[in-house]
Structure 1
Amino acid sequence: MSSYYKHHVFFCLNEREEKASRPSCARRDAQAMQEYAKKRIKSLGLSGKGEVRINKAGCLDRCEEAPVLVVYPEGIWYTYIDKSDIDEIIDSHFVKGQPVERLMI
């Protein structure tokens, strides 16, 4: 059985209260990065059937490494800081097929 998408990406967008004991992805710009990734994938023509799907997710329970995203079917987890990290993941992993080791968790 094969995956419906070549890469299915889930961005954690969970938000906790500011004084919570664990960090949350939403407080580290995850929503903006998810939206950016979705637009970039579309602009590259990679959003069609069988290609790359960018989705929102609730808590993925990797809070201490926030913000995080996970790529299936590979099960590769990434952390990121800004658009340049998202661009590197897209350009290397999704376009060239080479996961970005420096951002993997």
Structure 2
Amino acid sequence: MSDQFFQHHVFFCMNQREDGRPCCGQQGAEKAQKHAKKRIKEMNMNGAGKIRVNQAGCMDRCEEGPVLVVYPEGTWYTYVDTSDIDDIIDTHLVGGKVVERLKI
């Protein structure tokens, strides 16, 4: 294993704003994050040296959201539904290619 603990670390913005501005938490972020976490686990791709899916607080890009970011690449994505999440998993996390149509 390299010096990285995870091959990929995926952070979903879960921010909830009270002031009426757009926020990821109101745009399906929790459902999307749970879907990604479950799918990665079902594919046996979770754990040390593999993929970690996390919740994050505000990542200050809610206006472009909902958003997630994949590290170590630092690739920012937006998504509409779980099929977009599946595309990010299959194309980027498994296939190693950026999903250009979802990239911010």
How far has the Cα of 1:73 moved from its partner? 0.5
1:31 alignment partner AA: E
How many angstroms apart in 2 are the aligned matches of 1:76 and 1:25? Answer: 17
**Displacement of 1:63:** 1.4
Aligned AA (1:102): R
Alignment identity in percent? 59
Indicate the residue corresponding to 1:43 in structure 2.
42
Give the whole-Å Cα distance in 2 for the aligned partners of 1:44 and 1:56: 20
The answer to whether residue 25 in structure 2 is matched with residue 26 in structure 1 is yes
Q: TM-score, normalised by structure 2?
A: 0.94
Question: Which aligned segments of 4 or more residues in structure 1 are displaced greater than 2 angstroms?
Answer: none
Gaps (5+ residues) in structure 2?
none
Question: What corresponds to 2:58 in structure 1?
Answer: 59
Where do 5+ consecutive residues of structure 1 fail to align?
none
CA contact (8 A) 2:6 2:47 kept: no
Aligned partner of 1:64: which letter?
Answer: E
Q: How many residues of Structure 1 are paired with residues of Structure 2 in the alignment?
A: 103
Deviation at 1:66, TM superposition (A): 1.0
RMSD: 1.2
